[in-house]
Amino acid sequence: MADMDDTLYPLSCGINLACRKNIEDYMLHHLQIEESQIPKMCLELYKEYGTTMAGLKALGFVFDDDEFHAYVHGRLPYETLKPDPLLRNMLLSMPQRKIIFTNADQAHAAKVLSRLGLEDCFEGVICFETLNPPPKKTELDDKLTATPAYNLPDDLNNHGFYSETESITNTESNTTPHERILCKPSVEAMQTAIRIANIDPRRTVFFDDSARNIAAGKAAGLHTVLVGSSVVVAGADNALESIHNIREALPEIWHDEGDELKPNSQVAANPAVFASTDSGPLPIETVVDAKKPTAIKSFHSNRYQECRML
């Protein structure tokens, strides 16, 4: 299971920085927030809520999710993303199921994967819409509006993204699904992704460029690999300078299924992992089903510099 932005491609592509600029512009022009306060506010919201978008919603700002994502991603320099045949061939050579887990919205995920030439390398994508479905429709809505492809077999829509039917919505009486956004780095988001993807965390490798996401992944029971730095962080079983170094760091992936994944000999596993949600640490819930979903596809990483759409 892999993050997408700044994990499948390097930070130097400039998507991250452009996302941040677009978020700040949206806050200035659409939410009328004082310009001098925006940089500090972005950082504080990111630290407190996981993403800037989640923080804005929690503070009571009202805006449309799709409009926000369209504004933040609509002007990104996608042309800086080029096909990566080396990564593509490596992914296709892996015998395991491969799933993207991103805080980004569906449209952005599809665009990035297409630009990288990786759209057919992943079985599925868990994205913003997966974890944060729109409010449930009323019976009248059902009669007046044709239902989109949310209920296809294996909970996939026509574009292969995991559908909202498998997502977990907030049930607290004093909030609505859009006031509390479920996203990385919360352990709850990790556990929800594990359940939706129908994977055994004990036999799953999680790649991400965010130290906070790595800590959450470890707390959820995943084998974790930090991408983009060779510096070990709490909760990381391995650290890779580039996603292209997977084969050298984890040759077990291409060996027999009986092989156990082990931390790199130069990367000490750190049991002291701190990851929690608004409601405190969550118990790890693992649901493993013998049934595997058929062909699929839908998918951020965090760090303030990458607070892009979130």
Backbone phi and psi for residue 129, each to the nearest 5 degrees, phi listed first: -65, -30
Compute the distance between CA of residue 69 and CA of residue 236 in angstroms, rounded to an integer: 30
pLDDT tens-digit readout, 97-139:
999 999 999 999 999 999 999 999 999 999 999 999 987 765 5
Residue 131 region by backbone torsions, left for phi larger than 0, else alpha for psi between -120 and 50, else beta: alpha
Confidence of residue 255 (pLDDT cuts 50, 70, 90): confident
Rounded CA gap, 109 and 164, in Å? 16
Measured distance CA(8)–CA(161) in Å, rounded: 18
Side-chain-side CA neighbours of residue 8 (13 Å): 32
E-only strand ranges, the chain: 99-101, 124-126, 205-208, 223-227, 238-240
**Cα–Cα dist 167/196, whole Å:** 7
**pLDDT at residue number 310:** 47
Q: Is the pLDDT of residue 293 over 60?
A: no
Any idea which residue has 């294996």 for tokens? 154
CB 265 within 8 A of CB 237: no
* DSSP 8-state secondary structure symbol assigned to residue 226: E
CA atoms within 13 A on the CB side of 107: 13
Distance CA(160)–CA(120), nearest Å, equals 10
Which pair of structure tokens corresponds to residue 109? 């995920």
Residue 97 CA neighbour count, 13 Å, CB half: 20
- Tell me what pLDDT residue 162 has: 81
294 pLDDT tier (thresholds 50, 70, 90): very low
Single out the residue of 152, 160, 138, 119 nearest to residue 296, CA to CA: 160
- The closest of 109, 149, 141 to 125, measured between CA atoms, is 109
Q: Give the pLDDT confidence score for residue 305 in this predicted structure.
A: 34
C-alpha span between 273 and 54 (Å, rounded): 23
pTM over 0.95: no
C-alpha 246/C-alpha 65 separation (Å) is 35
Percent above pLDDT 70 for the chain = 69
pLDDT one-digit tens code per residue, 71-97: 999 999 999 999 999 999 999 999 999
How is residue 69 written in tokens?
């994502």
pLDDT at position 117 is 98
CATH T-level fold of 84-304:
Rossmann fold (3.40.50)
Q: In this model, does residue 298 exceed pLDDT 90?
A: no
- 6 has a pLDDT exceeding 90: yes
pLDDT band at 63 (very low <50, low <70, confident <90, very high): very high
Taking residue 241's Cβ as centre, other Cβ atoms within 10 Å add up to 14
Instruction: Flag whether pLDDT at 46 surpasses 60.
Output: yes
Contact (Cβ atoms closer than 8 angstroms) between residue 170 and residue 177: yes
Digit-coded pLDDT (tens) for 139-194: 555 544 433 332 323 455 545 688 654 444 443 433 344 479 999 999 999 999 99
Geometric angle at alpha carbon 63, from 162 and 100, rounded to 5°: 25
Q: What is the model's pLDDT at position 159?
A: 54
Average pLDDT, the chain: 80
